[in-house]
Amino acid sequence: MWTLTEDLPFVAERAWVRDRNGAEVWLVVVRGSFDIHPDGSTRPSPDQSPVALAPVYRGDPLRSSLIYDSDLVHTKTATDVLLNGHAYAPGFRPTTHVDVTMSVGPIRKTLRVVGDRLFRGTIQIVGTPQPFLKLPITYERTWGGVDPAAKPSSALAFDPRNPVGVGFAKHQSHLAGTPAPNVESIDSSKRRSPAGFGPIAPHWATRLQFAGTYDEQWEKHRLPLLPDDFDDRFYQCAPDDQQVAGFIKGGELVELTNLTPGGSLRFRLPRVRLGFETVFGDGEPTLHRADLHTVILEPDTPRVIMVWHTSLPCHHRGHKLVGTEITIKRPLHVSDEDRTSGMWMGEMEP
C-alpha cells in the first residue's frame, strides 16, 4: 500500500522493476498536466493526463508512431523534451510551406513543413505542394516507411529508422504517384532523414542500437537479465537533439513558433518541488527526490505535461515496503511584476 497527500493536483503511479543485474527497484512516477493561459501563466489542469503504464501508439504499433512512451521505465540520464502538435500557416492564410520552431531551455529545433505533394515520374522528383492551413507533425509524414513495391520478406523493404514514414524505396521508380514527406529537417545534410518532435518507438533503429546484444553469449551467461552491453540511453525516447543532460529543473523559457493558431506561444515551465518519503517496516523512513524525466508540449490544447521519476533500490528490503508518501513543497511567491509580464511559470517553487 502507498499513500498520496490529499491536495496533490497531479496523478501518480508506482511499480517494481529490476536493474540490469536483477536487483529490485521501487519506482514512483508523478505526471502533472498544466494548462497554458494566454498571458503565459500555467495552472494544473482540471483533467490530468494519466500515467502511461505502457507505450501509447496512434494505431497498430508496427504501422503507426508513438504518442506517449511508458512513464514506468527504469531510469533516464536526461530529460526527454517532446511535442505533439501541428504546423499552422501564419496569419491564417494558406501556405505551401512553413518553418516551425520549438525552443525549450537549451534546446532550439526548427523543422520545415510542406503541403501535400506526390512523387512523379521514374526518378525522385516531387510535385508542387498544395496550400494548407494546418498539418500534423508526425513520423507518418516524414522520411521513412516501407518500399511500395518490395516484397515483405526483403531485407530492404523498410526504413529501420522510421518504418511508418513515406519516401523510402529500394528503387526510386517505386515511388511514382506516392505521397512525399511533409516534414523535413532544415539541415540540407539531413533532408532525407526522419524529422519530428515526437517520441521514437523502442523498436526503431535509433533506440534499438542501445538495446544490447542478445546472442549465444547472452543466452549462456545473462538470460533473463539484460546483456552486458545494454545502454541506459535505450530508455530515452526523444530524438538526440531533444534531450537535456542533467535534467531540466523547471522555470525554463519555452517559445513555440507556428505551432499554434496564433503563431507564437511563450511561457516558462512550471517549477515544482516534490518530496518522497518511503516507509519500510524495519526502520526510519527514507527520503528521496525525483528527476524531471519527460516534458511533453501539446500546444493545440494548449498544455504541458511534466513527468517526475524517482527510483529506490531496495532488493533486500522490498518485502518490508509499506508505502511512499508524496508531498509538494510550499507554493512559490509570485510578484506582481512576474504576473503582468506574462512570464509567471506556475505555483510551485524549484
Q: Does the pLDDT of residue 335 top 60, yes or no?
A: no
Q: Name the pLDDT band for 36 (thresholds 50, 70, 90).
A: very high
Is residue 239 within 8 Å of 199, Cβ to Cβ? no
Is residue 172 within 8 Å of 122, Cβ to Cβ? yes
- pLDDT, average across residues 118-130: 81
Q: Which residue has the higher pLDDT, 282 or 119?
A: 119
What's residue 123's pLDDT? 65
The upper half-sphere exposure of residue 131, i.e. CA atoms within 13 Å in the direction of its Cβ, equals 6
SS3 for 164?
coil
Is residue 296 within 8 Å of 48, Cβ to Cβ? no
What's residue 82's pLDDT? 98
Distance, in Å, from the CA atom of 48 to the CA atom of 88, rounded to the nearest integer, reads 26
pLDDT in tens, 194-219: 999 999 999 999 999 999 999 999 99
Give the torsion through C-alpha atoms of 45, 342, 309, 296, to 10 deg. Answer: 70
Q: Does the pLDDT of residue 47 top 60, yes or no?
A: yes
Which of 146, 181, 186, 183 has the alpha carbon at shortest distance from 162?
Answer: 146
Cβ–Cβ contacts within 10 Å for residue 349, how many? 15
Helix runs in 89-214, H state only: 205-208
Q: What is the pTM of this model?
A: 0.91
Q: Does the pLDDT of residue 259 top 80, yes or no?
A: yes
Distance, in Å, from the CA atom of 123 to the CA atom of 241, rounded to the nearest integer, reads 32
Q: Does the pLDDT of residue 118 top 60, yes or no?
A: yes
Q: Which residue has the higher pLDDT, 121 or 65?
A: 65
Give the torsion through C-alpha atoms of 160, 163, 169, 170, to 10 deg. Answer: 40
pLDDT in tens, 263-301: 999 999 999 999 999 888 777 888 999 999 999 999 999
Task: Specify the length of the chain in residues.
Answer: 350
CA distances 155 to 152, 163, 188, 213, 303, Å, are 8, 13, 27, 20, 41
What contacts 232, CB < 8 A, 6 or more positions away?
Answer: 74, 75, 76, 77, 210
